[in-house]
Structure 1
Amino acid sequence: MKKLKIIFTCLSLFYLISACSKDELDLASPNALTIEQYWKTPDDAEKGVNSIYAMFYKDGLWARWIYFRLDLTSDEGFSQSPWTELADWARFKYVNYAFWEGNRVTWRDTYKAVFRANQVLAYVPDIEFADNTRKQQILAEAKFLRALHYYYAAILWENIPIVLEPSSPEDLPQQKSLEEVFAQIETDLNEAFADLPAQWDNANVGRPTKGAAKAMLAKMYMQQHKWQEAKSALEYLISGPGAIYSLVDNFEDNFRAENENNSESVFEIQFGDQRLGGTGEGANAAVSSNRAQFFAPRGIGWSDGQARYWLVNLFKEEPNMNGGIDERLKYSLFYPDSQADFGTLTYGRTWEWGAQEAWFKKGSRDYYRTNEDYYSQVNLRMVRYADILLRYAEVLNELDMTADAYQYVDMVRARSNMDLLATAHPEIGNDHDLFLERLKMERVLELCGESVRWEDLKRWGDLDNQTSVNKLIERDPDFVNFVIGKHDKLPIPNPDASNNPNLDQNPNY
């Protein structure tokens, strides 16, 4: 939210220094606000909720490392980083469970975000507002953001503590099952939906809407195979009161800094390049994405993450209506023949790559500069309408409504000038399994490199049996290291598992 006043206030500093044994030493720091001093005015509440959004810009979350977990660990990506331990965490070689960049920082930042949301939910109800609607919106934003962070924690670790009150360092929260985590996410999202607006004014674009809450509910229901509930949530966006979304004409508009927050965006993380600091809590802390810097081809960025070449081949399997290559490839991946296939596409860049190499392109700034850095201003379209349409098709197929599902896949294909699915793949018919297998590829063609593949693999059960894992190995040799019943979730970081008797390490670790 470039237009929001993001306040990087580390609310955890509001707590007093722990009491000493002598009363005369029990003093409040004159340089730190206490809970009693803060949470008095609506402006305090606004700063409090904005501090939750600020967590998007931290290393462990959407500024950098979470992409290594969601994109590179899936069969879409891998790492050849010279930093061996970093690369190993994309190869299911988890040795040091406290490895900061691979595990612990994402856990830490997730619970920092939850902590900030819990403060808003605990203290804002006691603040007097002249505008009670805005007060309820702030609480709804906090619930949505807490649910979002718990959702991705559930995707990554599954069995995690649920913390719903402002915490203290000495707390030992109870571990909960995945089902209990999803139940809390559902509660938060439904309560958020009630008080979120359908749309925001221009000054507040980037805050969650009712549609964003329904989209996250649909994702959560689908992971549990609650197909009827997912259908209802998705229909709010497709045919119900929230049907305000549409596909933009140009596929590439979803991955550039221009035309952000467009009709296809259901929820979008707002990045900017106006501050060039680090990812800490200082006044000059960056509000940008580091993804392009770490995923860029050699010579352009750090090149710690890249795409599997089978993606390129998939795009070339089926010609478009003009007999040419599916043009989504042009905007999805860098690969050796990209300029030969589509003409000159880059802004004076000199590429350094070998044959059969591919790199994620979405979010790259190759169309106007020759290098990447830590300050990409390109927003992350976390949920876009094309994803919603493909999810709806999947849900209909699971509810034995396969014939009705085709039209929603066709809407996505049509934008890229691809033929009707039934025409291109008549062998599918109304066969549930064949439709699902094709839909898996349709999601790759539309969404590859958008951090959805890992949750897709989990939802489809492709990580649950050796037959499916063997298919993944054909596309991604790193899956030879994958142990069923173990690597579908991350290990809980050692310091937390060791220091909290209420927290058990995940199975087989």
Structure 2
Amino acid sequence: MKKIKIAILLALLSTGFSACQDDLLDQPNPNTLTEQQFWKSESDAQQGINAAYAMFYKPGIWSRWMYFRLDLTSDEGFSKSPWIELGDWTRFQYINYNFWEGNSNTWRDTYKAIFRCNQVLDKVPGIQFTDSRKKDQILAQAKFLRALHYYYAAILWENVPLVLKTSTPEDLPKQNTLEEVWAQVIKDLTEASGALPGSWDDANVGRPTKGAAMALLGKVYMQQHDWQKAKSAFDYLVTGEGKGYYKLVDNFQDNFTHLNENNTESVFEIQFSDANKGADGDNTNASMGNTRAQFFAPRSIGWSDGQARNWIVAEFKKEKTADGKIDPRLRYTLFYPGLEADFGDKIYGRSWQWDADEAWFKKYSRDYYRNNEDYYSQVNERMIRYADILLLYAEALNELGQTGDAVKYVDMVRSRSKMLPLTTAYPETGTDKDKFRERLKIERELELCGESLRWVDLKRWGDLDVQSKVDVISQRDPDFKNFVPGKHNRLPIPQNEVENNINLKQNKGY
């Protein structure tokens, strides 16, 4: 019996020693905090929302590939890249729906960004704040950012799953209709606009304001052809209480360099930087730069995987300024063979050495102080610009039958570039709704070319819905000869997502 007691005692001691050893080893790593350890303080909440902003620097979305989806797929741009599959995704020749650079990376980073927003929305309400207004503003930022990412998901794929809670690997989210996605974006933006300030202090410049939320809300209504609600949203910026925050800057070029960022014309812009020149991961030295300029620069200056259609140059030259000169916006919009002769500007310090029928996007390039490009452009992306809002406001007014009132908002944009008043140059646009609409399409191209808006415009105008209208586009952009209305209006959902989720169906036509 004594031996048994001794054995039991030794076993207990051994178990206790083992447990003590496990406890000693089971220590939290301050560098890899768990969810349970992290979401505790106001500081945690602020870091959480900042992590959502960090998604802007990922290549799947606004650091790189979004420009291929929006600028090059439209009739403004195209690709002659030797990377054939990359070029095919600007020519509506989608073979591999899982092509990383063309589709899957953008899908992945979009939902990764939404995940970070959902974490904030799920966790921050349980954190105690000394100032409840700050908590409301953090939640409002998360709603704005989630709405922004779903807005572009709706533009690209249309029928996407609405994931509104922090997701887990086991989730199989249900697919939603485009109408349901728009409804959620409207809900998020409406709620965000109630808590966001009209402006931020200098330390927080770049966060969305109420004006940014109302502008994006108006854009959603525009895509739905709900002209009255779009006008009402834009009223805040154009005629309402937010009017004092926004006006056009005198110098058109100031909207596309790093020298006058976050100016009065900026409604919302992504804050890029060349401070950290690392890779595109999530470490402390991750890149915060924009790679668009590197991929869109002319050959021997950048990668030249994307360039502009030459028809745009001719469109700029159809109408002279009030003093008989070339529209000055052309100078800062495109590199083209006649740039030096027309304005005295070289291309990154060089005279033209490319093909006679070529053109390249100049907006967001750094030719004004460099002779080459790299992956780390610090030039902010002006995602929503006041000139865009003024032209959308005019479009909404025209569709509501208020063509005469719409003219002055187009003239506000034209006058900066010393163009004649709209009805002086095109008299019938002041009274004819259809002719105003057709002219406005050109006005938007001249003002906004290369700003990732044209694909959205073509969808809103219905120019991609029927073959006869697509045929017109194909005359200026041969890539549209491959375009199938009802199919290519949206991207295919990555096939591996469809195969791994029984609740997803591939988009129509694919």
In the alignment, which residue of structure 2 is the partner of 1:411?
412
Equivalent residues of 1:200, 1:207 under 8 A apart: yes
Equivalent residues of 2:80, 2:87 under 8 A apart: yes
Per-residue deviation, 1:352: 3.5
What percent of counterpart residues are identical? Answer: 66
Matches within 5 A, 1:159-198: 159-198=159-198
In the alignment, which residue of structure 2 is the partner of 1:109?
109
Per-residue deviation, 1:232: 0.3
In the alignment, which residue of structure 2 is the partner of 1:453?
454
Alpha-carbon distance change, 460 to 501 in structure 1, aligned in 2, over 3 angstroms: same
Inter-partner Cα distance in structure 1 for 2:473 and 2:204? 42
Per-residue deviation, 1:345: 4.3
In the alignment, which residue of structure 1 is the partner of 2:350?
349
Inter-partner Cα distance in structure 2 for 1:459 and 1:303? 29
Inter-partner Cα distance in structure 2 for 1:349 and 1:470? 37
Per-residue deviation, 1:429: 4.0
Per-residue deviation, 1:30: 5.0
* Residues 1:474 and 2:470 aligned together: no
Per-residue deviation, 1:351: 4.5
Report the residue type matching 2:484 in the other structure.
V
In the alignment, which residue of structure 2 is the partner of 1:96?
96
In the alignment, which residue of structure 2 is the partner of 1:4?
none
In the alignment, which residue of structure 2 is the partner of 1:304?
305
In the alignment, which residue of structure 2 is the partner of 1:441?
442
In the alignment, which residue of structure 2 is the partner of 1:496?
497
Equivalent residues of 1:92, 1:481 under 8 A apart: yes
- Between Structure 1 and Structure 2, whose CA radius of gyration is higher? 2
Secondary structure of the residue aligned to 2:36 is coil
In the alignment, which residue of structure 2 is the partner of 1:399?
400
Inter-partner Cα distance in structure 2 for 1:346 and 1:300? 10
Equivalent residues of 2:57, 2:288 under 8 A apart: yes
Secondary structure of the residue aligned to 2:317 is helix
In the alignment, which residue of structure 2 is the partner of 1:145?
145
Secondary structure of the residue aligned to 1:184 is helix
Structure 1 residue runs of 5 or longer lacking an equivalent are: 1-23
Matches within 5 A, 1:317-396: 317-346=318-347, 348-349=349-350, 351-396=352-397
* Residues 1:218 and 2:218 aligned together: yes
In the alignment, which residue of structure 1 is the partner of 2:81?
81
The C-alpha deviation readout for 1:461-502, integer Å capped at 9, x for no partner, is 000011110110011000000001100000000110111010
Equivalent residues of 1:297, 1:351 under 8 A apart: no
Equivalent residues of 2:474, 2:480 under 8 A apart: yes
The C-alpha deviation readout for 1:429-463, integer Å capped at 9, x for no partner, is 41111111100000000000000000100000000
In the alignment, which residue of structure 1 is the partner of 2:6?
none
Per-residue deviation, 1:426: 1.6
Inter-partner Cα distance in structure 2 for 1:253 and 1:435? 28
Inter-partner Cα distance in structure 2 for 1:386 and 1:488? 26
Inter-partner Cα distance in structure 2 for 1:100 and 1:347? 31
Task: Give me the TM-score of the superposition, normalised by structure 2.
Answer: 0.93
Secondary structure of the residue aligned to 1:260 is coil
In the alignment, which residue of structure 1 is the partner of 2:9?
none
In the alignment, which residue of structure 2 is the partner of 1:423?
424
Per-residue deviation, 1:33: 2.2
Secondary structure of the residue aligned to 1:268 is strand
Report the residue type matching 2:444 in the other structure.
R
In the alignment, which residue of structure 1 is the partner of 2:17?
none
In the alignment, which residue of structure 2 is the partner of 1:3?
none
The C-alpha deviation readout for 1:303-339, integer Å capped at 9, x for no partner, is 0000000100000000111111000000000001100
In the alignment, which residue of structure 1 is the partner of 2:204?
204
Secondary structure of the residue aligned to 2:440 is helix
Inter-partner Cα distance in structure 2 for 1:372 and 1:439? 34
Report the residue type matching 1:300 in the other structure.
I
Inter-partner Cα distance in structure 2 for 1:499 and 1:192? 33
Alpha-carbon distance change, 407 to 172 in structure 1, aligned in 2, over 3 angstroms: same
In the alignment, which residue of structure 1 is the partner of 2:67?
67
Per-residue deviation, 1:146: 0.2
Per-residue deviation, 1:347: 5.0
Equivalent residues of 1:334, 1:358 under 8 A apart: yes
In the alignment, which residue of structure 1 is the partner of 2:37?
37
List, as ranges, runs of 4+ consecutive aligned residues in structure 1 with deviation greater than 4 Å: 27-31
* Residues 1:258 and 2:290 aligned together: no
In the alignment, which residue of structure 2 is the partner of 1:57?
57
Structure 1 or 2: more helix by fraction: 2
Alpha-carbon distance change, 88 to 29 in structure 1, aligned in 2, over 3 angstroms: farther
Inter-partner Cα distance in structure 1 for 2:169 and 2:93? 31
Report the residue type matching 1:256 in the other structure.
T
Inter-partner Cα distance in structure 1 for 2:185 and 2:224? 12
Equivalent residues of 2:172, 2:503 under 8 A apart: yes
**Residues matched between the structures, number:** 484
In the alignment, which residue of structure 1 is the partner of 2:278?
277
Report the residue type matching 1:296 in the other structure.
A
Secondary structure of the residue aligned to 2:442 is helix
Per-residue deviation, 1:344: 3.0
In the alignment, which residue of structure 1 is the partner of 2:227?
227
Inter-partner Cα distance in structure 2 for 1:94 and 1:296? 25
Equivalent residues of 1:346, 1:367 under 8 A apart: no
Per-residue deviation, 1:349: 3.4
Matches within 5 A, 1:4-23: none
Equivalent residues of 1:472, 1:479 under 8 A apart: yes
Alpha-carbon distance change, 340 to 42 in structure 1, aligned in 2, over 3 angstroms: same
Inter-partner Cα distance in structure 2 for 1:74 and 1:493? 21
The C-alpha deviation readout for 1:229-272, integer Å capped at 9, x for no partner, is 00000111001011120000000000010110000000010011
The C-alpha deviation readout for 1:38-62, integer Å capped at 9, x for no partner, is 1001111011000000000000010
Alpha-carbon distance change, 323 to 127 in structure 1, aligned in 2, over 3 angstroms: same
Per-residue deviation, 1:427: 3.5
In the alignment, which residue of structure 2 is the partner of 1:47?
47
